[in-house]
Amino acid sequence: MVDSAREARSAAAAASTALRLVNETAAEALIAAVERGESRTRVEIEPVPITPGTGRIGRLYDDKLLDALDEAGGRSLARACRILAALGFHVATVPDVGRCEAEDSVVERISSLRVTHLEIGFATAVDLMRSPAEPLLKAVVLPSAHLWRARAEAARRVETYERKALATIAERADRGDVACRLGWRMFGSGQPDARLLQQLAERLGGRGFRVELIDASAALHVSW
């Protein structure tokens, strides 16, 4: 509930800022991370001052981070952290510490703490059972953490396949060949994954190779 139009405007502004952070800023950083096969990323944010206190030097995460933000009035950032947590991400930060010399001591004292970034991890993310109507997630378009984990794992697999492919191509080129066939079995066991083969074909194509995907045999014909 709100008691005034001013409170309503404040709530709307906080929600809007949180959604931009999640749907735009965090999404952009996550896309870049999974393309590199990484399962964590760092998002720079506008500094949010928090109150110095016991246990707030070093890494803050989960309830400690939320408590510090709530206490400092960092409403939009706290909401963004809660949204990310609801999506299955692990959210943490290391506050920037300001220090100054105390007049009556040779030891510097902490003058300020600021949250300047968020560390978003999804290496151990699992599919969370939740109601799609959960109020916190309304207007959130960022996919859940376990889907980003799957994308990062796929990117790492394709990178491994690419290294194997390039090694085979180098060996065949040394023999004077100008083409070769890359079968699925040289990359993995089990059923062929057409999606991963297509991604591999695109990466090799980006290196200047001519690549043809042979669907019937789950193989790539590569020429140079």
Kindly report, residue by residue over 79-132, the tens digit of the pLDDT.
999 999 999 999 999 998 887 766 666 566 777 899 999 999 999 998 877 655
What is the spatial distance between Cα 75 and Cα 156, in angstroms, rounded to a whole number? 37
Residues 10, 16 contacting (CB under 8 angstroms):
no
Q: What is the pLDDT of residue 190?
A: 79
Matching residue, tokens 């695109």: 202
Residues 142, 87 contacting (CB under 8 angstroms):
yes
Helix ranges (DSSP H) in the chain:
5-20, 27-35, 62-72, 75-86, 145-174, 194-206
Q: Which helix (H) or strand (E) holds 94?
A: none
What is the spatial distance between Cα 11 and Cα 2, in angstroms, rounded to a whole number? 9
Q: What is the pLDDT of residue 108?
A: 66
Which two tokens mark 50? 């928090």
How would you classify residue 156: left for phi > 0, otherwise alpha for psi between -120 and 50, otherwise beta? alpha
Q: What is the pLDDT along the chain (224 residues), one digit of tens a residue?
A: 667 888 888 888 999 999 999 999 999 999 999 999 999 999 999 999 998 876 778 899 888 999 999 999 899 999 999 999 999 999 999 998 887 766 666 566 777 899 999 999 999 998 877 655 478 888 999 999 999 999 999 999 999 999 999 999 999 999 999 999 999 988 877 788 888 999 999 999 999 999 998 876 689 999 99
What is the spatial distance between Cα 150 and Cα 54, in angstroms, rounded to a whole number? 38
What is the spatial distance between Cα 21 and Cα 75, in angstroms, rounded to a whole number? 13
Matching residue, tokens 């083969």: 197
Longest distance between any two alpha carbons in the chain, whole Å:
80
Which two tokens mark 165? 């492919």
Written as one letter, the residue type at 126 is V
Residues 22, 84 contacting (CB under 8 angstroms):
yes
Q: What is the pLDDT of residue 148?
A: 96
What is the spatial distance between Cα 19 and Cα 87, in angstroms, rounded to a whole number? 13
Q: What is the pLDDT of residue 107?
A: 62
Residue 182 burial (10 A CB sphere; 0-12, 13-18, 19+): buried
Q: What is the pLDDT of residue 33?
A: 96
Q: Is 164 helix (H, G, I), strand (E, B) or coil?
A: helix
